[in-house]
Amino acid sequence: MSARDEILANIRRSLGVSGKETIRRQIATERLERAPRGLVPARGQVSGEQRLALFKLQAEAALATVTEVETSADVPQSVAAFLRDHNLPATLRMGRDLRLTAMPWGETSLDISHGPSEGGDLNAVSHAFGGVAETGTLVLVSGSENPSTLNFLPDNHIVVVSAKDIAGDYETVWNKVRFAFGKGGMPRTVNWITGPSRSGDIEQTMLLGAHGPRRLHVVVVKE
């Protein structure tokens, strides 16, 4: 028995149930299927260029930097320019996302490595599942395509997101995640990232990179 099964078994024992009661299962199923829609702020209810402009405004307000490129083929040169402009080494770790690996990285001088980070990488690039305009948030799902370690361990995290995948609000993105993966097939982790890591715990002084990347750079692909 796994630790999870043991915990659930203890809870059922304390409630005096087995977990197989038909009525209890029906009630739980109905509650999940009829869950009320969350409150959706009006701020994100814009479309087209207005939505993209709002995303950029909110992301930059959260101390991220944002660059727009016309096509996915422009991403490698944009990433190389970001690293060069910040005097960072020309190294980059990424997962196995086919959208990233199909880009012409060979046209740059970047040294590309693949797979999860073990903590020694300064720079990483991921491809977001989507974005949320109302808060400038990026949504990344875990897996070998975009390992979650890349979200937290490198000092500089570059995230590519397609403009068409930027929604106005959180509820819309959650619906897209559910539709893409289906019931019982959700990713292990869905990370919602707004700006670089920060903390004001010590003397209420803002410190970047406290629990993750000190820089978050977003490349929006407009095609």
Asked if 199 and 134 sit in the same domain, the reply is yes
Residue range of the domain that includes 127: 44-221
Asked if 60 and 141 sit in the same domain, the reply is yes
State whether the Cα torsion 199-201-207-213 is positive or negative. negative
> 37: which DSSP letter?
P
Give me the CATH number covering residue 52: 3.40.50.10420
Asked if 48 and 93 sit in the same domain, the reply is yes
Task: Label residue 67 by pLDDT band (50, 70, 90).
Answer: very high
The reported pLDDT for the residue numbered 74 is 98
User: Which pTM value belongs to this model?
Assistant: 0.86
Q: Which of 143, 103, 151 is nearest to 126 (CA)?
A: 151
The reported pLDDT for the residue numbered 181 is 94
The reported pLDDT for the residue numbered 209 is 64
Looking at every residue in the chain, the average pLDDT score rounds to: 93
Asked if 81 and 145 sit in the same domain, the reply is yes
Asked if 62 and 134 sit in the same domain, the reply is yes
Rounded average pLDDT over 45-61:
97
| CA separation for the pair 155, 223 (Å, rounded) | 29
Rounded average pLDDT over 55-80:
98
| CA separation for the pair 180, 183 (Å, rounded) | 10
Q: Determine which of 23-27, 90-94, 140-144 has the lowest per-residue pLDDT on average.
A: 23-27
The reported pLDDT for the residue numbered 202 is 67
Asked if 4 and 71 sit in the same domain, the reply is no
The reported pLDDT for the residue numbered 121 is 96
| Phi, psi (degrees; rounded to nearest 5) at 4 | -65, -45
Asked if 52 and 17 sit in the same domain, the reply is no
List CB contacts of 193: < 8 A, sequence separation 6 or more. Answer: 137, 138, 139, 140, 151, 159, 216
Checking if the pLDDT of 204 tops 80, the result is no
Asked if 207 and 118 sit in the same domain, the reply is yes
* E strands in 45-105: 65-69, 91-94
Look at the block and give the residue holding tokens 């939505």. 51
Q: Which two tokens stand for residue 117?
A: 């980070």
The reported pLDDT for the residue numbered 32 is 81
Q: Give the tens place of pLDDT for each residue, 6-44.
A: 999 999 999 999 988 999 999 988 988 887 878 899 999
Q: Which of 159, 140, 166, 156 is nearest to 197 (CA)?
A: 156
Report the relative pairing of strands 215-221 and 65-69 from DSSP bridges. parallel
The reported pLDDT for the residue numbered 68 is 98
| CA separation for the pair 89, 122 (Å, rounded) | 8
